[in-house]
């Protein structure tokens, strides 16, 4: 199963869900755009609450103040969400290696995607929960 969300000229894809090690769940996060591609292997503990984070965005579809942030346990993937009343902005940051590791060959890649509150946000939350439940 694959989860994807597209933005203007970019796509963020989660793929390769692997829960074969019990509590640890692995997947690959890939960001692609014109002349750019980056991917990281993400390790989580039961998804690190990403599905609940997305469900919370959907529950508050009318908006929220400030920025909401979800980060994987090792920091390889971060999702920042804002809501201006009309558009939900999603900022996805991929890090290699994670922020607690040595800075040799360190890189980050940030892409932005947008959703409209309501059905788009509801579908985003449901599709992400489905990806993380396999």
Domains of the chain: 3-132 (2.30.31)
pLDDT tens for the chain, 134 residues long, are: 899 999 889 999 999 999 999 889 999 999 999 999 999 999 998 888 999 999 999 999 898 999 999 999 989 999 999 999 899 999 999 998 755 666 667 889 999 999 999 999 999 999 999 999 87
Contacts for 69-78: CB closer than 8 Å, 24+ residues apart: 72/42, 72/43, 72/44, 72/48, 72/98, 73/43, 73/44, 73/45, 73/48, 74/42, 74/43, 74/98, 74/100, 75/99, 75/100, 76/29, 76/40, 76/41, 76/42, 76/43, 77/29, 77/40, 77/42
The confidence score (pLDDT) of residue 97 equals 73
């Amino acid at each position: 199963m694959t989860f994807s969300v597209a933005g203007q000229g970019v796509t963020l894809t989660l793929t390769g869900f692997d829960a074969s090690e019990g509590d640890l769940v692995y997947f690959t996060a890939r960001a692609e755009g014109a002349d750019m591609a980056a991917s990281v292997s993400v390790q989580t503990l039961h998804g690190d609450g990403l599905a609940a984070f997305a469900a919370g965005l959907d529950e508050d579809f009318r908006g929220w103040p400030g920025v909401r942030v979800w980060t994987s346990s090792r920091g390889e993937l971060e999702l920042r969400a804002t809501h201006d009343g009309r558009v939900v902005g999603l900022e996805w940051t991929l890090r290699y290696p994670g922020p607690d590791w040595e800075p040799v060959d360190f890189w980050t890649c940030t892409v932005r995607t947008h959703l409209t509150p309501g059905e788009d946000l509801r579908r985003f939350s449901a599709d992400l929960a489905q990806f993380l439940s396999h």
